[in-house]
Amino acid sequence: MRAFSVNVGVPREVSWTGHTEAMADGFAAIASTIPLGRVASPEEIASAIIFVASDMAGYVNGAVIPVDGGHMAAAGVHQSLAKERA
């Protein structure tokens, strides 16, 4: 038996087939801030959750696994560069 806990953040940059045309502009604005240039699909988020819940992640402990198209990594890089230039 394997005991684990998963704390999930609510992804805001996820597209789905039922979104409205008005929401498309919002998704485009968000996508422009993501290094991959697009929002995640529900399947991409689900794949990460399935991995963490699987035996393949049996030795993963205390990890934060961002599924954000590089958004957090890029923000960290920009912050580091800004500090170096200051």
Match 């399935």 to its residue by tokens.
50
Residue 8: is its pLDDT beyond 80? no
Instruction: Supply the pLDDT for residue 56.
Output: 92
Domain ranges of the chain: 21-85
Question: What is the per-residue DSSP string for 12-37?
Answer: SSB--TT--HHHHHHHHHHHTTSTTS
Per-residue pLDDT band for 1 (boundaries 50, 70, 90) equals very low
